[in-house]
Amino acid sequence: MEKKRRLTPWGNLLISLSAVVLLLLSVLFIGIFINNQRAIKAELESKAQILIESIILTWKWNAMYGGVFVEKTPGMLSNRYLANPDIETITEKTYTKKSPAIMTREISEIADEEGSFKFRITSRTPINPNNAPGEFEQKALESFNRGNKEAIIKETVNNATYYHYMAPLLTEPSCLVCHGEHGYRVGEVRGGISVVFNIDKAERAIRINQWVITGLYILTSVTFAVATHRLIIVLHRKLATAEAQLKEMATTDELTKLKNRRFILATLSEDMVHAVRYHRPLSCIIFDVDHLKRVNDTYGHDAGDVVLKAISDTAQANCRQHDILGRYDGEEFLMVLPETDIKTAENIAECIRQQIEKQQIAAPAQPLISVTASFGVACYFPGGEEGDSGLHRLIKYADNAMYRAKAGGCNRVEAVA
């Protein structure tokens, strides 16, 4: 069974950042959606309340005068629930009384015919059975008796959606003219007035709004995810480059661009462990520029730096692929040669010595400079001293061999096994 791949820190960062922002975006867009829903709901409720207020004002105006008489035209029926609803004038015209309930019902019929809205007044004990409350209105009246101030439902009839709003009607002194005998008292809920109007456009707007917000949420989320992913990739690359540069600076000698003392010793230590474990030889070469002080005194320290750089380039060019060359100290260089016996190491040192000897180094504003180097070669062999002691002894042997080369006249290779 394959092991599950563990997420990198960058992967964790991307997932965590995306989760946080997506959560914030979700809260934001849900808040926008809910706010829009509330705004539409408030608009519908406001429209219903305005209609109710208009109707109540009309009803109050009629009730204030105890009903209104209008000329009775052909086909107009008198209100049979009123005593003496008709009167005749001296001009022989007949007028019939329109009570508040009758007037509001007739206005409702006109509004319904025009398709605007319809409304009705109902009560717990209506005089006219046609004003008896429906199921919603009955429940609304019961809730009004419990102290509620309004009742709202949405109804679907013939694939059309309607907003049904109902508010309570309180008994006023003018109401007792018609309803006093029914036991009503001033201030109590005698019934309610309801208004119904089509809200298909509002429902369609809500659906469109929902799709728009959902689309914007998806678009914003995808855009953010892509932008975040690209940003993290760019940051990752920049940080990786910076990390590589810092690592290079921490392990590289500034002048020669070779590995520095710390890195070369760490490499030699690792190769020592490998040599001990697998019983393989390990050689190292230490070489030193002969009479570099003379060059500095004659041509200046800038020329001396040019000489060190040129020698390091020459030595690096003659290294094998798996050999490691570094600046050990001042004008001393250390080369690590894994799985290399003393004879091979000695041959490599001799090759480098000859290349340095033949080299003509050009320093700015100076004549060509020729220098030589002295080499010390040492080799660790399996079964020898291990650990740090073996490492330092190997370096000490190579260093001693180099000093023997200098003592023997410089520009030489000395080896010790």
Give residue 96's Cα distance to chain centre.
Answer: 73
User: What's the DSSP call for residue 129?
Assistant: G
* Active-site choice (45, 188, 248, 331): 331
Check: CB of residue 289 under 8 Å from CB of residue 307.
yes
Between CA 303 and CA 403 the distance in angstroms is: 25
Q: Which two tokens stand for residue 325?
A: 């060359």
Contact present, 194 and 131 (Cβ < 8 Å)? no
Q: Three-state DSSP class for 42?
A: helix
413-416: strand order across its sheet: 324-329, 332-338, 282-289, 373-380, 413-416
Give the CB-side neighbour count of residue 85, counting CA atoms within 13 A. Answer: 16
Which candidate, 200, 136, 203, places its Cα nearest to that of 166? 136
Tokens of 336: 């690590």
Q: How far apart are CA 248 and CA 253, in angstroms?
A: 9
| Of 103, 139, 99, nearest in space to 119 by CA | 103
CA 249 to chain centre: 35
Instruction: Give dist(CA 244, CA 263) in Å, integer.
Output: 15
State yes or no: is 350 an active-site residue. Answer: no
Q: How far apart are CA 333 and CA 261, in angstroms?
A: 9
Kindly give, in sequence order, each residue whose CB lies less than 8 Å from that of residue 318, ignoring residues fewer than 6 positions away.
Answer: 348, 351, 352, 355
Say how many C-beta atoms besides its own lie within 10 A of residue 104's C-beta: 20
Residue 306's alpha-carbon distances to 40, 105, 287, 335, 363, in angstroms, are: 82, 110, 17, 20, 6
d(CA 124, CA 141): 7
- What tokens does 119 get? 């409304």
Nearest CA-CA partner of 364 in 305, 404, 278:
305
Cβ pair 334, 286 in contact under 8 A: yes
Encoding tokens for residue 236?
């990752």
Q: Contact, 405 vs 414, CB < 8 A? A: yes
Q: Active-site residue numbers?
A: 331
